[in-house]
């Protein structure tokens, strides 16, 4: 029987829609394993029984409508890092469908867009970090935070940096060793070397994780990822989900609660068995999270500073 590596290595980058339908049982509900930004993810079974994840993008997906789709996807496929999900292939095919219009059936052209990734057996980080879920201890939480930051450091320090623009627990997939991998690059932007930020009128993202300058002014920058990372670090550290009813300033109440409540006394009550080193780690992560969500984007730390901070070298 062929090994997993040999099967994957034989897959062409550009896959046929008929093949993806076959390995997902025609995108059946039984094969559905989750939903992400602008699409549904299905489990695909290869000929040797091994699995891949197939994301079927919605018609309104920004990536699906991107005129540079293939270039952008191949840029993501070229990424190789332990904390970045490995992209295996893609599909973009025009389909003709019969649609009823005013009592008559007409032919309508549609474009089906799909992305294929390595399969993550443990699902998303959201399954583990919140109180009441499958609780993980502090050592694992700290390792996850450091690993996510290493993945973001990789993206932000490429020769042409990539801004993810949708960092959240649901877009971090866990492998069998509970190592997180940044996934879902549907909103990602390639960033020119000399640019400090770019502007867009098409603001998209996940409520509660969007940087304020992006939400209100359409500013896309590396610091927008840092803001999302700050919320993420706070959620992982506290076990508390960012739920905000404030539609004008999403996340502000959550941030203020963390800032005020997570004192040394509260840390001790939450993590009563921590030794001095681990207690310092929790304090450091809370402080980093608060620094990352400053309203002025230029006041937020860069990802290399955050990594140094976590490693105790800053």
Instruction: Name the residues annotated as catalytic.
Output: 166
CB 214 within 8 A of CB 203: yes
Map 133-166 to HEC letters: CCCCCHHHHHHHHHHHHHHHHHHHCCCCCEECCC
CB 25 within 8 A of CB 51: no
Q: Kindly state the tokens that stand for 27.
A: 């995108």
Q: Kindly state the tokens that stand for 42.
A: 């299905």
Q: How many CB atoms lie within 10 A of CB 116?
A: 23
- Report the interhelical angle of 138-156 vs 222-238 (nearest 10°): 170
Question: Which pairs from 301-305 meet CB under 8 Å and 24+ separation?
Answer: 301/226, 302/156, 302/222, 302/226, 303/149, 303/152, 303/153, 303/156, 303/157, 303/222, 303/225, 303/226, 303/229, 304/153, 304/157
Distances (CA, A) of 100 to 95, 104, 109: 16, 5, 13
Vertex 202 angle, CA 196 and 207, to 5°: 90
Strand pairing partners for 55? 41, 115
Q: Kindly state the tokens that stand for 162.
A: 């990539």
Spell out the residues 6+ positions from residue 113 whose beta carbon is closer than 8 angstroms to its own. 56, 57, 61, 63, 64, 69, 90, 91, 92
Q: Where are the beta strands (DSSP E) in 132-272?
A: 162-163, 172-174, 180-182, 189-190, 198-199, 219-220
C-alpha to C-alpha distance for 218 and 197, rounded to whole angstroms = 10
């Amino acid at each position: 029987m062929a090994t997993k590596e040999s099967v994957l290595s034989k897959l062409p980058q550009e896959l046929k829609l008929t093949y993806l339908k076959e390995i997902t049982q025609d995108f059946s509900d039984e094969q559905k394993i989750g939903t992400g930004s602008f699409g549904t993810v299905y489990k695909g079974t290869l000929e040797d029984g091994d699995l891949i994840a197939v994301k079927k993008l919605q018609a309104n997906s920004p990536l699906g409508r991107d005129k540079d789709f293939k270039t952008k996807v191949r840029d993501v496929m070229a990424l190789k890092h332990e904390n970045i999900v490995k992209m295996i292939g893609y599909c973009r095919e025009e389909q003709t469908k019969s649609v009823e219009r005013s009592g008559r059936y007409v032919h309508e052209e549609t474009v089906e867009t799909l992305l294929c990734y390595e399969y993550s057996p443990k699902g998303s980080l959201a399954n583990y970090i919140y109180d009441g879920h499958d609780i993980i201890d502090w050592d694992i939480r700290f390792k996850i935070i450091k690993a996510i930051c290493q993945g973001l450091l990789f993206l932000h320090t490429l020769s042409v940096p990539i801004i993810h623009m949708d960092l959240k627990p649901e877009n971090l997939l866990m492998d069998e060793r509970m190592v997180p991998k940044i996934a879902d690059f549907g909103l990602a932007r390639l960033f020119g070397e000399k640019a400090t930020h770019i502007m867009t009128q098409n603001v998209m993202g996940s409520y509660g994780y969007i940087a304020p300058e992006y939400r209100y002014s359409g500013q896309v920058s590396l610091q927008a990822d840092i803001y999302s990372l700050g919320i993420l670090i706070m959620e992982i550290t506290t076990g508390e989900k960012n739920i905000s009813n404030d539609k004008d300033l999403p996340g502000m109440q959550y941030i203020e609660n963390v800032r005020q409540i997570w004192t040394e006394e509260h840390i001790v009550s939450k993590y009563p068995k921590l030794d001095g080193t681990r207690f310092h780690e929790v304090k450091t992560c809370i402080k980093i999270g608060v620094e990352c969500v400053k309203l002025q984007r230029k006041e937020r730390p860069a990802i290399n500073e955050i990594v140094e901070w976590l490693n105790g070298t800053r």
